[in-house]
Each structure stands twice: as C-alpha cells, then as structure tokens.
Structure 1
Amino acid sequence: MAQETVVPRTAPPAAPSVSEVRRHEVAAFLRHRREHLTPEQVGLPRGRRRRTPGLRREEVAQLSAVGVTWYTWLEQARDIQVSVQVLDALARALLLDPSERAHLFQLAGAVDPTPATACPSITPAIRRLLEQLEPVPACVQNSRYDILAYNRTYGLLLCDLDAVPPEDRNCLVLSYTHDDWRSAIVHVAEAQRLMTARFRATMAGHLAEPGWKMLLKRLRTESAEFREVWDRHEIVEHRSRRKEFMNRYVGRVTVDHTDLWLGPEAGPRMVTYAPADEESRLRLEKLHAIALERAAPVA
C-alpha cells in the first residue's frame, strides 16, 4: 500500500511591524538626501578622488556630531533608538527645508522640539491684525513662550528681534540669556519669577512632550538664575498686568499687558502692550516710526 506523502505547510511570512517600516522609510529618506547634497553645499571640500554621489556617510556623521557606525546603522534600518536631538542635528546637517524636516520627524514617529516657524494659528488675518495694531507692540506666543509672530514695534521693543535666530525667539530663553532683552525689562527679576512660575504651571500638562523637556533642559543648562528660580516650585496663573520697559531708542515706556487667546484652550495667544499713559503712547509711536524707517528698502 502506497504511503501518502505529507507536504508540510509553510507559514506565510510575518508582516513587518510599524516600527520596522518606519526604520526603513527613515533610512531611505536619509540616504536619498545625503546622495543629493554636494560637499560645497555644506561647506566641505570636494577633493579629487570622490566617487560617492553626494556626501559620504562619515561626512554626515561629522556634520551631525554622531558616530559613523551609528549613522551607518541608521541608514541600514537597524533597530536602534533615535532621539529627537539626533533627528534635529541630522535635519540641520542635511539642510532639510521645513516640509522635509516635518517629514523626517513624522517618519520617525517623533515630535519636532523646535519652535514652529509655520504655525496653523498664524494665519494671514492674524498677521494683518498684528500690523494694524501698530504702534501698539504685539506678538503671538504659544504656551511655551515661543514667539511665533510679531509686529514691527514689538520687534524693537526689547531688542532687535529680527537679529535673533528663530530657534532662540523664546521669552524665557531671552529673559535669562540675552543681555539686551534682560536690560530692557525694568523689573527683570520679578518678570523672570512670574514667567518661570507660569511655565511650571503650564508644563504640568506637557510633561512627556520632547519640546517642553528640551526647553527645560536648555534653560537649566544655560542659566544658574533659572535653576534657582525653577527649584522654588512656584505656580502662577496667567493674568494681565502693567509692565515697564527701558527701550534703547525711546527710553522708558509703561504698558498694560493683555493676553488674547486664539482658541478654546490655553495654547497660542496674542500678547498686546497698550500704552498706559500719554508719554508712553508718544514714545511707542516714535519707536514704530524707527521700525518703519529700518524696514524701508534702500533706494
């Protein structure tokens, strides 16, 4: 009696996991960007024996301040942990534009910790409103004190804000580390204390978010004053108050600070500084005229 041959069934291959798909997409994206950058674009010499299209892996690693082996593993889609700090460094090294940078963080399943230069709250109508409020200084901030947009009077109120890199345009960072900004605040110690206390109160709802953690780490690293105030564990809610600034162009101005929230939650808000007296009004008008003159094109 013939024996029946039993053919073992082969299990279908397992579908790749989401994390595996992400790793391969990140690897392909980084490799594509690396191969389409020239050494001249990132300030490196080309050399005579270059055969690799674009940049070499070791050059990207050098520009990003990461290990060559580690970066190689990243392009090979190895199962390694990639921090938001490393993603930020790679985005800068590879000269990613805002959309490419957002794509990289999305592929990696991470949240971009840097202040957004394009915020959904900053609509053309909001920008027009900021302009129409002049000479009253006004800006839009998020709950982390990042300055997302501002009018020309605000741009000269505490320092030359246009000269500050976008990633440094944060009221907390500026109040603790920027000499011009600090010197323009008449009661700087009190302002720092209140901002730090409000930042602590708001951060309670964002403890796990990379952007908030990186900002806190930066402040604690760069300012002993901040560390001392932060460790008091004071909590203060947002409220309108009178402020005094010593402007380098027009002198002392007294203003009433008002927060105008742009949504139902305590997220982005428009901050306005209405003059509290006639002298301050005249000085803000003069400051606005100076800002207009600086912004005028050279004939």
Structure 2
Amino acid sequence: MARVDLARFLRARRESLRPADVGLPADRRRRTPGLRREEVAELAHMSVDYYARLEQARGPRPSPRILDALTGALRLGPSERTHLFTLAGAGPAPPADPAHRVRPHVASLLDRIPGTAAIVTDATYDVIAWNPLARALLGGGFGGQPNLARRRFLGLDDMYDSSSAEEFGHIVVARLRRAAARYPHDEALTRLLAELRAGSEEFVQIWEDNPVHAPGHRTKVVDHPAAGRLRLNCDVLTVPDDDQEVVFITADPGTSHARALRHLAAAG
C-alpha cells in the first residue's frame, strides 16, 4: 500500500508541474498535463526506467539520497518533502543548510501588528526580516542582516544594556547547538561557530555546559538610548518547516513603556 501511495504522490506532483516551473522551455505539442517522466528523471539524475518503476509502484524502496533528488526535481517544499519521506518509509533527514528566506505570509505578518517590534531569525541567528519598530528598538544595521549571536558574544553593533543578556546568551548557545547537530555540513554555520569560539571565552564556557532552552515568553528591561528604560515582553513563534523563529516584542498596554514604543514607531 505504501508503494502505491508513493506512486500516486509522485505522479500527481509531476502532472501538476509546468515546464516553466522547473526551468524548461514551453512545449505546445504536449498531449498530457505536467512534466514527462523522462524530464523528472533527468532533473533527479536517475534513469527513466527507475523513475517509471517508482511511479508504477514496482520499484525498490528509494534511499534518502534518491528522495532528496526527487525533492529537488519535483520542487517540493519542506512539508511535502517530509510527506515524501514518510510515504517511502524513511525518516526525513534534515536539509543540508538552514533556510535563509522568509515565507511571504510570515513577512507580511510583521506589518500587521501595530505597536509590536518583530524580527525573524534563522537557525544561525541571522536576522532575515524585521519591521520598522524593531529597527528603531534594537538598533540599526538590519540592512546587512546582522547575526544576533555575533552581537551578543562579540560585541558587534554595541547593543544597549539589557537585563536578559546573560539568559539570552544561554538561549543563543542552545539554539546554535541544535543547529550544529542539524546542519553539520553548513559552511556558514561552521565559520560562525569558529568565530564565536575564538572571540568569546563566555561562549566556549556556555557551550561546554550544554544548556537547554526552549522558546517561550520572557520579560526583560532594556536601557534604550532614545526611549529610556523599557520593560518589554518577548514572545517567540516558531516556524518549524524552515527552522526559524519570529520574535514579538511588546509592552504592557497602558504603561509608559507602551507609550514609549508608540513614540519610537512614530519616529521610525
């Protein structure tokens, strides 16, 4: 039954794609919808006979390497990739590299929450999206997509004082440890960890302690150069398919801290 379900999934996905979706020229002589089997086989770097047997539920159980090749050939998203591995009876291996692009619906969310500073970070703590209030609150430099781990441990951009700096250091290391296990061959992450180890004894010490932190609700007090002392709430929404986090920073309604955020938003 599993082979049949896998075959149906592959066939349906192939027939849903247009040549332009995979970079092939349009062909008006096509008599059937979607791509041809030989086109998928070529994109996946496998023989046409092998791919045809998969679609006919006659092939052997495909290896993770074959499944990843089909993921690319059929332009599957993270959820579809997981479904493909499940149908094939294989545990989905993590992607080779962290996702560095923000999905449009996540990016648009940042502009629909007035009075809230919001950023999106990837698995390596690169800030990959933000809204204007976040820029005003957390400091400039977001145009260069800063890395919060570097800012925390290497003193880059001179972030202002925060009561949560020590806790945040442990949170950063816990997440980077997870990323190192999930993406062991990612060159950018390897370089980042080497920089942090070379430039921060604190980072090395926390890393050796192997901290465990999960995203959630936290409060902190920051001394902002323009808005003064602010008591803020930080809430994290995870985007599991992309291994990303959306951080929402707010102040309690009706407080002077909330008014200060409104002034920052207006000034920004």
Q: Same fold (TM over 0.5)?
A: yes
Q: Percent identity?
A: 22
Specify whether residues 242 and 158 from structure 1 end up closer, same or farther in structure 2 by C-alpha distance, changes over 3 A only: same
Q: Which is greater in Rg?
A: 1
Which of 241, 251, 254 is 1:275 aligned to?
251
1:198 aligns with 2:178: no
1:250 corresponds in structure 2 to 227
Question: What is the rounded CA distance, in whole Å, between the counterparts of 2:244 and 2:201 in structure 1?
Answer: 28
1:161 maps to 2:164 = no
Tell me the equivalent position of 2:128: 148
**Pairing 1:239–2:219 present:** no
Q: For residues 266-289 of structure 1, what are the alpha-carbon distances to aligned partners after superposition, in whole Å with 9 as ceiling and x for unaligned?
A: 612221012135122111111111
Deviations 1:244-291 (A, max 9, x none): 2221110122222112223x4461222101213512211111111121
Q: Give the 3 Å change call, closer, same or farther, for CA 128–197 of structure 1 in structure 2.
A: closer
SS class of match (1:207): coil
Partner of 2:74: none
User: Amino acid of the residue matched to residue 246 of structure 1?
Assistant: D
**Hey, what's the Cα distance between the residues in 1 that align with 2:246 and 2:109?**
10
Higher relative contact order (CA 8 A, sep 6+): 2
The equivalent of 2:204 in structure 1 is 227
- Given the alignment of the two structures, is residue 130 of structure 1 paired with residue 106 of structure 2, yes or no? no
Counterpart contact for 1:176–1:182, Cα < 8 Å: no
Does the CA contact (< 8 Å) of 1:158 and 1:184 recur in 2?
Answer: no
In 2 relative to 1, CA 260–194 (structure 1 residues): closer, same or farther, beyond 3 Å? closer
Shift of the 261–179 alpha-carbon distance from structure 1 to 2, 3 Å rule, reads: closer
Asked whether the equivalents of residues 253 and 280 of structure 1 are also in contact (C-alpha less than 8 Å), the reply is yes
Residue deviations 1:11-57 (CA, integer Å, cap 9, x gap):
xxxxxxxxxxxxxxxxxxxxxxxxxxxxxxxxxxxxxxxxxxxxxxx
Verify: 1:211 aligned to 2:185, yes or no.
Answer: no
Q: Deviations over 1:186-230 (max 9, x none)?
A: 232222122212322343222232232121112112223222222
Q: Which runs of 5+ in 2 are unaligned?
A: 1-95
Q: State the SS of the aligned residue for 2:111.
A: helix
Matching residue's letter, 2:256: E
2:193 maps to a residue whose letter is L
- Do the aligned residues in 2 keep the contact of 1:198 with 1:238 (CA within 8 Å)? no
Say what the alpha-carbon RMSD is for the aligned residues.
Answer: 2.5
* One-letter code aligned to 1:279: S
| Structure 1 unmatched runs, 5+ | 1-110, 292-299
The change in CA–CA distance for 1:267 and 1:276 in structure 2 (over 3 A counts) is same
Q: Which SS does the other structure have where 2:160 is aligned?
A: helix
1:157 counterpart SS class: helix
Q: Which residue of 2 aligns with 1:104?
A: none
Code of the aligned partner of 1:147: V
Aligned residues: 172
